[in-house]
Amino acid sequence: MSDPITAVPPKAPATPAVPAEVQAIVDALDDKRALDIAVLHLEQVSSSLDWFVVASGESVLQLQAMEAEVRERLKASGARLKGVEGPSNRWVLMDYGGVVAHLMSPEAREFYDLEGLWADAPRVPVVPS
């Protein structure tokens, strides 16, 4: 009698290494008490972007503080800001090349539903350091 065949469970996809820019953005947003920070890994679903960081701020002042802190942290790390759309009272988009930060009011975040639009992109847990 031969040995029974043991089923091998499929391997879970490896969690991608988080770039320093993404970690710096998450840390900056956490320091400014951003709500619901989400990191999406877009590499498999986009030909031009690798990462989105999406977070909410409860007021215009908080969104401004979040933007300023992200700018300061990434400038200190040597990352180059390629462009900014906004700022507005609802949404600031900060483009760092393959990494884009979306700082949004809760209402704008719900209305535009970036996480729903990019639902095929894995959400990667990033813990503030």
**3-class DSSP string for 34-92:** CEEEEEEECCCCCCCCCEEEEEECCCHHHHHHHHHHHHHHHHHCCCCCCEEECCCCCEE
C-alpha–C-alpha distance, residues 106 and 98, integer Å: 24
Contact between 126 and 51 (Cβ < 8 Å): no
Give exposure, 52-66, as e/b (b: 16+ Cβ within 10 Å): bbbbbbeeeebbbbb
Facing residues of 55 across strands? 103
Domains, the chain, in order of start with CATH, read 20-117 (3.30.460.10)
pTM (two decimals) = 0.86
- pLDDT tens across the length of the chain (129 residues): 555 566 655 555 566 899 999 999 999 999 999 999 999 999 999 988 899 999 999 999 999 999 999 999 999 999 999 999 976 889 999 999 999 999 999 999 999 999 999 999 999 999 999
